[in-house]
Amino acid sequence: MSTNSKSFSATVLAGAVATIVSASAMTAMSTGGAYAMEKEKCYGVALKGQNDCKAGPGTTCAGTSTEDYQGNAWKLVPKGTCTTMKTPNGMGSLEPIMKDSM
C-alpha cells in the first residue's frame, strides 16, 4: 500500500468516526430534550435535602430543602403524576404549598 493510500484511508476513517460521534451527540441531545419535556415540577414531595432546585427563601438550589415534604421545594416527576402523589402532608402540588399560619 502506498503512502498516499494509507493517508487517504486514515482520512476516510477519521471522517467516519467524526460523523458517528456527532450523530450520537445529536441523538443524546434530542432524547434529553424529550425526557425533560416529559417531567414536571412537583412541590411538597421532596425529602429533606433531596429537592431538585430552589426551595424558596433561604435556599439556593438542589439539595437545600430543610425538611421532608417542604411545600416550597420541588422535584421533577413524570408528567401527570404530581397531584396523585400522597405524602403525610397531603398530595403533591404543581404550585408551591404555603404553610398555614397558626
Q: Where are the domains of the chain?
A: 38-101
Give the tens place of pLDDT for each residue, 39-55. Answer: 999 999 999 999 998 66
pLDDT of 53:
80
For residue 84, pLDDT over 50 is answered with: yes
Between 101 and 75, residue with greater pLDDT: 75
- Its pTM stands at 0.59
| Calpha distance 102→93 (Å, rounded) | 21
Number of Cβ within a 10 Å radius of residue 28:
10
Give the tens place of pLDDT for each residue, 7-64. Answer: 655 555 555 555 554 554 444 445 555 555 799 999 999 999 999 986 666 666 788 8
Helices (H), 38-87: none
For residue 77, pLDDT over 80 is answered with: yes
